[in-house]
Amino acid sequence: MNMKICLMPGDGIGPEIVEQAVAVLDKVAAKFGHTVEYSNALIGGVAIDATGNPLPDETVAACKAADAVLLGAVGGPKWDTLPGDRRPEKGLLGIRKALGLFANLRPAKLFPELAQACFLRPDIVKDGIDVMVVRELTGCIYFGQPVGREMRDGKMTAFNTMVYDEEEVRRIARLAFDAAMKREKRLCSVDKANVLEVSRLWREVVEEVAKEYPEVELTHMYVDNAAMQLVRNPNQFDVIVTGNLFGDILSDEAAVITGSIGMLPSASLGAGGPGLYEPIHGSAPDIAGQNKANPLATILSVAMMLRYAFSLNDEAQAIENAVQRVLQEGYRTGDIMEEGKSLVGCNTMGNLVAERI
Ligand code: NAD
């Protein structure tokens, strides 16, 4: 297979971690007989410095011409005082919109080797954690109309609208069922159907889509219970699918319980076009350029890319196994360092993973 990948290293630690992820991808491609064609594009602060715009038109064109996009991170203190529409983060929102990315896939995975970093009791996480949250990204109360403020009975009143149409629910449900098919084939749809009409439609449509996926076991859970169950027994979940508002909260909750922000990848996917693969952490300006960053979240984002953009499951698994072996052998970057382990920098961590592919 020939893979066309657009690289957007971005700001801060972005270039260092993307460099290591590319080295690992090259190694996997060589081993499995694939070729990779890279293009490079500017986004965020570096794009502002070069062009005055956090998302130049050439960047959008380069992303659209690729099969998949790998992003480092954007932002940093240098650009914090710019007006809102010229900030680095605007580039990120812009590219998600330009590529029509409506689903965010966030695995919250705790390797058993890092169980000490986890915020949950050791008996709950002795086998690690492996949950995937699929969040709808473009609808719900964040974008619903009408929105505004008005005087009602002499009191200033504000309102937002939670709204989903059946097609929006259908496409995120299909994507979540597809993700479940690549994992343990269990999907939990999270809603608030006991209270919200939007959730009742959500549930009906998810049930209807389930008929296309007889192999996947579908359950439903109210969001308040899901928030509790995630900390009580996270391993009861395989894939969770939910709307934008509930997903915003649950995906952060699931991520934080693992205790290691430098370990978590993500994917944002749309309808057919290239997806965007990136670590969930930011540009970590406090350690940028010091060879201290943990590249594993970006390396694991490449594994997601292989699995979701190219359906190359063995290749994705090879990366995940290599990461696990490096952890088993006791190598750690500063952010996940424990007593008795070997402290390594960003470059060495990347090399160690590549050597074990
Ligand atoms: P951050 O995730 O960049 O950093 C939080 C803390 O975690 C820092 O101490 C940092 O050193 C550490 N850290 C993060 N990633 C690490 C890694 N791979 N290895 C080792 N340590 C790591 O969040 P922040 O400090 O709130 O934000 C910094 C900048 O990043 C801001 O400009 C923010 O807007 C931007 N940001 C970008 C994204 C993105 O590009 N998707 C996401 C979040 C924040």
**pLDDT per position as a tens digit, 166-198:** 999 999 999 999 999 999 999 999 999 999 999
Residues 6+ apart with CB under 8 A from 145: 161, 163
pLDDT at residue 318 tops 90: yes
Regarding the beta carbon of 344 and ligand 1, being less than 6 Å apart is answered no
Q: What is the per-residue pLDDT across 225-270, written as a single tens digit (0 to 9) for each?
A: 999 999 999 999 999 999 999 999 999 899 888 888 899 999 999 9
Mean pLDDT check: name the lowest of 141-150, 183-192, 341-350: 141-150
Asked if 186 and 170 count as a contact pair (C-beta separation under 8 A), the reply is no
What does the pLDDT average to over 286-311? 97
DSSP letter for each residue of 196-246 = -HHHHHHHHHHHHHHTT-TTSEEEEEEHHHHHHHHHH-GGG-SEEEE-HHH
Return d(Cα 335, Cα 57) in angstroms, integer: 36
Atom of ligand 1 nearest to the CA of 281: 2
Query: Is the CB–ligand 1 distance for residue 184 below 6 Å?
Result: no
Report the pLDDT value the prediction gives residue 163, as an integer from 0 to 100: 97
CA of 350 to the centre of ligand 1 (A): 19
The residues annotated with a catalytic role in the active site are 142, 192, 224, 248, 252
Q: Which residue has the higher pLDDT, 139 or 199?
A: 199
pLDDT of residue 175: 96
- Binding site membership of 281 for ligand 1 (Cβ less than 6 Å): yes
Q: Which atom of ligand 1 sits closest to the CA of residue 295?
A: 18
Looking at residues 318-333, what average pLDDT do you find? 97
> How many other C-beta atoms are found inside a 10 Å radius of the C-beta of residue 164?
20
Give the start-to-end residue ranges of the domains of the chain. Answer: 1-99+273-357, 113-136+164-264
Average pLDDT on 107-129 reads: 89
Residue 294 Cβ contacting ligand 1 at under 6 Å: yes
Query: What is the reported pLDDT for 83?
Result: 87
Q: Who has greater pLDDT, 344 or 128?
A: 344
The span from the CA of 7 to the CA of 302, in Å, is 11
Q: Which CATH number fits domain 113-136+164-264: 3.40.718.10, 3.40.109.10, 3.80.10.10, 3.40.50.720?
A: 3.40.718.10
Residue 18 scores a pLDDT above 90: yes
Q: 280 CB less than 6 Å from ligand 1?
A: no
Q: Is the pLDDT of residue 84 over 90?
A: no
User: Given this chain, do its domains 1-99+273-357 and 113-136+164-264 carry the same CATH topology?
Assistant: yes
Q: How far, in Å, is the centroid of ligand 1 from the Cα of 212?
A: 40
Q: Looking at residue 228, what is its pLDDT?
A: 97
CA of 217 relative to ligand 1 center, distance in Å: 36
Q: How far is the CA of 174 from the centre of ligand 1 (A)?
A: 32
C-alpha distances in Å from residue 93, one per residue of 78, 84, 326:
19, 12, 34
Domain 1-99+273-357 fold: Isopropylmalate Dehydrogenase (3.40.718)
Ligand 1 atom 38 nearest Cα: 282
Determine which residue's CA is closest to atom 42 belonging to ligand 1: 282
Tell me which of 31-35, 82-86, 160-164, 251-255 is least confident: 82-86
The protein residue whose alpha carbon is closest to atom 25 in ligand 1 is 284
- pLDDT grade for 203, boundaries at 50, 70 and 90: very high
Task: Supply the mean pLDDT for the chain.
Answer: 95
**pLDDT(57) > 90:** yes
Rounded mean pLDDT, 96-125: 91
User: Is 272 a residue whose pLDDT tops 90?
Assistant: no
Whether 270 is in the pocket of ligand 1, judged by its Cβ within 6 Å, is: no
